[in-house]
Amino acid sequence: MTDVVVTAAGWATTIQDGGRPGHGAVGVPASGALDEPLRQVLNRLVGNPGDAAVLETLGGLQVTVTGPAVVATSAEPAPRTVAVGEVVDVGPADGELWGYLAVRGGLAVAPVLGSRSTETRSGLGPPVPVAGVHLPIGRDPATPIVADVAPRPDRTADLIGVHVGPRATWFEAGTLEQLAASAWVVSSEVSRVGVRLDGPPLRRSVERELPSEGVLHGAVQVPPDGRPVVMLADHPTTGGYPVLAVVDPPALAVLAQRRPGTAVRFRLLQ
Amino acid sequence: MNVLPYGPRAWLVEVPDDRVAGYAGAVARHADVAEVVPAARTVLVRLRAGAATAEVGAWLANVEPDDVADRPAPAIDIVVTYDGVDLSDVAAACGLGIDEVVARHGAATYRCAFCGFAPGFAYLAGLDPALRLARRATPRTRVPAGSVAIADVYAAVYPSASPGGWHVIGRTDATMWDAERDPPALVVPGATVRFVAAR
């Protein structure tokens, strides 16, 4: 069997597949690749089925292989064969935050609750890869590699679409419009849990405590400091901060890929 | 039932708090419903891709909750050593002796209202009102697994080490969460729980 060998763990590196939706009632978020469209593209390039697990990293990840293997990375999105001894650098594409490595056959670590994704808050799922670890490559999918290049997911969208959220009425009149009209900046607190945005604080009109309620990927929560947090794949399944708005699902990967310090603007849908 | 918008593929439904479990059970049977997340007074309903969101939303407003009052629920005893770091602060804040805090915490029968925060973290309703305290002003960066804690109207056990703002009054060896177990959560919504002081 051929392995991927991690020689440098990089930053915030985890294994991710399509996630494990459906366990929210016992406190387990879906997890899965933050840039799910990109994970799909890279898997397609190496001939994998869509559920194959990949490596996700902020950068600095280096791997080798114990036998020839076909890979595609976000910085070099084309299938290529890696020879034994060759070092593959994995990091984000220019201007993006999260990078990926897909390998033909997928990473065949043991699934937990039906998924090979690691949930970073609780550690549920495969262990976080450290230097020296061997990750087994799954069986060859026996499908032809049909594409040399794939269209990259469209990241040019300037505006992130948002829908009205369940607790919009807990905010001062015009707060949704303020969310859409303000220039937000991605904060430096990067995680798989959420994207925190700096900008003019959003103000609540209802000050009473909100009993914990269900949270979804894309929820725009507003903590007491008024700086919105957009929940990502490893979000807590319940929360006590009011949800002002909900990011349109196709825009989630666009938002997750915004680097700290870059601007974000929202557009109210409907 | 008050149905609130939650993006293109979900609704958040406000439900009387004694009907949350019954409502979640009734809604989960709909073919377009992918997942329900019950919480204190709401049920979050996530729909399958391609579901008719508006029609399901209209239906959600009139669903009759299941009657779960008589339904048998698992009963779990959790053995607690009452030596938590916040025990004396809790006693002082409640104006009670430490023995009284322990006695009141152990006397109640709790029901798991919902899970959240972390895998297997059960919000246990039924806490003695004399023990009701707001969360700690500053959360701890790390609360050990097995910590027995209280906050607001709930009791809970931390299933894994995590940051946390609840008042820790004891610890247990009970395994609250084991992903290899079926079901992984020791305490699921609807289950009843009693805390038993370790000898």
**Is the pLDDT reported for residue A149 higher than 70?**
yes
pLDDT digits (tens, 9 = 90+) for A60-99: 999 999 999 999 999 999 999 999 999 999 999 999 999 9
Query: In this prediction, what percent of chain B has a pLDDT beyond 70?
Result: 99
pLDDT score for A209:
84
Q: Which of B9, B15, B114, B154 is most worth mutating to test chain A (most A CB atoms within 10 A of its CB)?
A: B114
pLDDT score for B147:
98
Residue where a domain terminates, one of A136, A169, A190: A136
pLDDT score for A156:
67
Check if B115 contacts A (Cβ < 8 Å).
Answer: yes
Residues A9 and A126 in one domain: yes
B188 is in which domain, residue-wise?
A: 75-197
Tell me the ipTM for this assembly: 0.94
Check if A88 contacts B (Cβ < 8 Å).
Answer: no
- For residue B153, the domain's CATH number is 2.40.100.10
| Nearest Cα residue in chain B from A215 | B44
Check if B135 contacts A (Cβ < 8 Å).
Answer: no
Of A26-35, A45-54, A175-184, B131-140, the poorest mean pLDDT is in B131-140
Residues A71 and A165 in one domain: no
Residues B55 and B85 in one domain: no
Residues A64 and A118 in one domain: yes
Check if A243 contacts B (Cβ < 8 Å).
Answer: yes
- For residue B39, the domain's CATH number is 3.30.1360.40
Chain B residue numbers touching A164 (CB-CB < 8 A) = 5
Q: Which of A120, A213, A252 is most worth mutating to test chain B (most B CB atoms within 10 A of its CB)?
A: A213
Mean pLDDT of the residues in chain A: 95
Q: Which of B6, B24, B119 lies closest to A166 in CB terms?
A: B6
DSSP string, chain B: -EEEE-STTEEEEE--GGGHHHHHHHHTTSTTEEEEEE-SSEEEEEEPTT--HHHHHHHHTTPPPP--TTS---EEEEEEB---TTHHHHHHHHT--HHHHHHHHHH--EEEEEE-SSTT-EEEE---GGG-BPPPSS-EEEE-TTEEEEEBTEEEE-SS-EEE-SEEEEE-----B-TTSSSSBSS-TT-EEEEEE--
| Nearest Cα residue in chain A from B112 | A26
Least Cα separation, residue B199 to chain A (angstroms)? 31
pLDDT score for A151:
75
Q: What is the mean pLDDT of residues A248-263?
A: 95
The verdict on residue A118 lying in a domain is: yes
Residues B11 and B91 in one domain: no
The verdict on residue B68 lying in a domain is: no
Residues B186 and B104 in one domain: yes
The verdict on residue B70 lying in a domain is: no
Residue where a domain terminates, one of A73, A103, A136: A136
A99 is in which domain, residue-wise?
A: 3-136
DSSP string, A197-246: EESSPP-BS--SPPPPEE--TTEEE--TT---EEE-TT--SEESS-EEEE
The verdict on residue B160 lying in a domain is: yes
pTM of this structure:
0.93
Check if B188 contacts A (Cβ < 8 Å).
Answer: yes
pLDDT score for B123:
95
Closest by Cα among A49, A38, A82 to A252: A38
pLDDT score for A147:
75
Residues B30 and B84 in one domain: no
Check if B81 contacts A (Cβ < 8 Å).
Answer: no
The verdict on residue B188 lying in a domain is: yes
Query: In this prediction, what percent of chain A has a pLDDT beyond 70?
Result: 99
- The number of domains in chain A is 2
Check if A109 contacts B (Cβ < 8 Å).
Answer: no
CB contact under 8 A, B8 and A163: yes
* Per-residue pLDDT of chain B in tens (199 residues, 90 and over written 9): 999 999 999 999 999 988 998 999 999 999 999 999 999 999 999 999 999 999 999 999 999 999 887 677 889 999 999 999 999 999 999 999 999 999 999 999 999 999 998 999 999 999 999 999 998 878 888 999 999 999 999 999 999 998 888 999 999 999 999 999 988 999 998 899 999 999 8
Check if A211 contacts B (Cβ < 8 Å).
Answer: yes
Chain B residue numbers touching A218 (CB-CB < 8 A) = 7
- The number of domains in chain B is 2
Check if A173 contacts B (Cβ < 8 Å).
Answer: no
Q: Which of A122, A163, A236 lies closest to B7 in CB terms?
A: A163
CB of B18 closer than 8 Å to CB of B125: no
pLDDT score for B68:
80
Chain A residue numbers touching B138 (CB-CB < 8 A) = none
